Chains A and B, each alone.
Chain A
Amino acid sequence: MTSQELRAGTPTAPGHLAAPGGDGPPAPSAPPTAYRMSRGRWWREVGWRHVVGLAAVAFAVFPVLYIVSAAFNPLGSVVSTDLVPRQLSLVNFQALFTDPSRPFGRWMLNTLVVCTSVTLIQVTCSAFAAYAFSRFRFRGRRGGLLALLLIQMFPQILATIALFLLFTDLGEVIPAIGLNTLAGYVLVMCGNAFAQVWLIKGFFDSIPASLDEAATVDGAGHATIFFRILLPLLVPILAVTSLLAFVGVISEFLIASIFLREAGVRTVAVGLWSVIENDRSNNLGLFAAGALLTAIPVVLLFQYLQRFIVGGITAGGVKG
């Protein structure tokens, strides 16, 4: 693999998205040297690497240990929580779902609804646009691509004030999408509808155009080519972009905190923040339990899609 292939979202084939996947080169189970290393030499050349690696693992993992420990600690306070749990109990998880003043189940559902809708809309719009930019030559194509690149360098939160005022006004005439509605919040988040265009376009460009031509000869229209022929080939990149979009929305805090003020419409991000803000020292267990329930599915997805993600982020995908 050359450095060029790494540089952009133009993997030569779906499999190549996985830049540093696997264990590197087809790792020989024995060291490449013909003779067995002495113990001293192993430490000098390989062993110390494990020491550094394990130190990094400890650095990466200790907050995770702490949150697991806090979640299962029945006392739930900061004072009583250590890295290693001394007692195991599920009271924090039960408390999450029983107090109506902090409807965690509702927040989870809200987050799921918001993230799923935004992800669907964002990935659909991006895939459509990527198809147009990759397969058609039209006036303004290059300009459009550059404009997209430019616009994306300005994060949407810079315009929070204007968005707040816009939705205050909109809500007065169309209450269904005003402030304090999930629909309104979803709409705002959909402003990033084109966030994944470049990534998907790179993938499109790697699919030979002869495929489309053959289909055109057979009488297929542009929509048939897109939905029937190209879409199935896009699945790996759609999986990665969906995950990046989903996680980006899960962690969105600023606009959610300004738009979703009532407890019933909050997302997990705003809800858990309010739990911590209310009582930092005694709500730790609750927060940790909620955080675990939120993070576990995301982390599992990341692990499952790991080899695709590495290709995706080197091609410029940014998680929020």
Chain B
Amino acid sequence: MVSQQLRPAPQESPASHAAPRGSRSVPVLLLKVLVLAVVISTVVALTPALVAAERWGFLVFFWVLVLLVVAVYATRRAIPLKYLLPGAVLLFSFVVYPVISTFQVSLTNLGDGTRATREEATAQILGASVVQAPDAPRYNLSVATTGSPSAGPYAFLLVDPATGEASVGTDEGLEPLPDATVTDGFVTAADGYELLTPVQVNDASAQLADLTVPVDGGAIRQLGIRQAFLGSTPLVYDEDAETITNTDTGAVYAPTLQGDREYYVSADGQRLSDQSWAADVGLANYVRAFTDARILSDFLGTFGWTLVFATLSVATTFALGTVLAIVLNDRRVRGQKVYRSVLLLPYAIPSFISLLLWSGFWNTDFGLINDLTGLSVNWFGGETTAKVAVILTNLWLGFPYMFLVVTGALQAIPEDLKEAAGLDGAGGFTGFRTITFPLLLIPTAPLLVASFAFNFNNFNTIFLLTGGGPFTPDNPTAGGTDLLISYTIRLAFGASGAQFGFASAIAVLLFILTGVVAALQFRLTRRLEDVI
């Protein structure tokens, strides 16, 4: 809750007069040394891998982190920072940076088929064009992984039968592997690699078929479970011109923009490959969002329902919670504690459980709702009934919170105020409307706005209940109960293919809208502060 927290802390700064001293106790010192040692040694251990992968951004981040940790904890200065740094680093890394990064991604065409950089895509195109000549050299192959056997990343551990030398091939290239254990002409163990069993190799065959190890004048590819071959390709990449030439036909392919993606295209318009790569597209994603009539109407329609959903969620839960609180908050009503304990249940049960349960309740044929009411409504089949179902479910989830909050607020209203109102003849509903309700709103209004903000991005309720549906056959991207957040997530991770760049642009717009809600929240709480 905001209002009071914006004020200065109640006892302004006596603590700051007493000069804080550094800590000299042994356990604290030990803890300090331990933390410093762990952080530094972890980063030192990570550095070679980061350098090898040329992940300069990560490298800089980790070393700045080390400098920060040393500066803050190895010295006696900056005492508040000693307490703030751990959380601040986490907050920055996994909230603030991703937000900035979302904006960056929204300026690209990143998505399925464009995850690779242009260098990687070029290597893949060249690798895929490798063909096996009749006299191509062969290698003895053991497939290994540095990650997991089912997901990779994979590496070819190769032994040249002619020389008996072991090497490791990845999509980066071929490197010698001097410390590998070679038995019967095959690598059987190597530090840092887990060897796959034949069954695992078989399971990963699709990914392994795509793995090509670029070498001069060709590439090494898999040939069955135990063998690999060195093949050659007619394609040659010209690094200066950034073009690919087919030496057999003489055709030159240059990067060309088609739609929102770049491909290698020849002068007569032939695509060399459907392989594309990540490219900056400027504001194209935003332009698309605002000019494509279909997307604009999806966006506006979803936004409208998001507002309605958040408003109705707050209004219904607050109304029911208030009614219950007023009815039950009477000292003559016995068993209030029992009521409160039972009414707490929907709030206490983890929400994903309730939502999955409720999604079954609305089933047409066997759902509990139709069963109990004798109806046979296909709730999730129509847009309006689905919306009603969503709101009612959210009411069940949310009313206990409002009930508890309003009960607390009611009990905080001085009894003599109500009595005075009664003496003035303002009994019953008038007394409630003019005296009690305004007094209730003061402490609860900020919570209502917070609840609105929460429901504005309430992904779980929509996704676990309706999945965003119902969908019309001609529009699989925006459903009848979709909120902006579930719509965005479907664009990014949905079945119809990832569109990270475009989805990020929508996410940025959603950030802005959330910011407007947040600003309202700030203003409202400030104004309330003035009222009190």
Contact = CB atoms under 8 A, between A and B. Distances in A.
Nearest to A1: B412
B98 A162 contact: yes
A57 B340 contact: no
B87 A213 contact: no
B15 A316 contact: no
B21 A63 contact: no
Given A32-B331, A302-B348, A53 B460 contact: no
Contact of B20 (A162, A190, A221): A221
A62 B328 CA distance: 20
Interface in B52-67: 53, 55, 58
A134 B91 CA distance: 20
A245 B203 CA distance: 40
B96 interface: yes
B333 A160 contact: no
Contact of A6 (B98, B334, B412): B412
How extensive is the interface on chain A, given as a class? 35 or more
A150 interface: yes
Nearest to B511: A158
A158 B86 contact: no
A99 B457 CA distance: 36
A303 B348 contact: yes
Nearest to A227: B28
Given A63-B354, A137-B16, A287-B356, A172 B153 contact: yes
A212 B150 CA distance: 56
Contacts of B363: 78, 280
Candidate in A45, A62, A129 with the most chain B CB atoms within 10 angstroms: A129
Contacts of B320: 56
Interface stretch (A86-94, A233-241, A268-276): A268-276
Contact of B350 (A19, A56, A294, A309): A294
B407 A291 contact: no
A149 interface: yes
Interface string A198-230: 100110011011101100110111111010000
B404 interface: yes
A298 B344 CA distance: 12
Contacts, number: 389
B188 interface: no
A166 B94 CA distance: 9
A173 B162 CA distance: 34
A175 B351 contact: no
A192 B332 contact: no
Interface string A51-93: 0110011011111101100000000001100010000000000
A60 B450 CA distance: 23
B313 interface: no
A24 B98 contact: no
B356 A272 contact: yes
B294 interface: no
B199 interface: no
5 nearest interchain CB pairs?
A191-B94, A125-B87, A8-B4, A302-B348, A159-B98
Given A3-B532, A7-B446, A23-B337, 15 more contacts: A151-B91, A153-B453, A156-B94, A174-B46, A187-B90, A201-B9, A206-B10, A217-B18, A221-B22, A223-B25, A272-B352, A280-B363, A294-B350, A303-B341, A310-B408
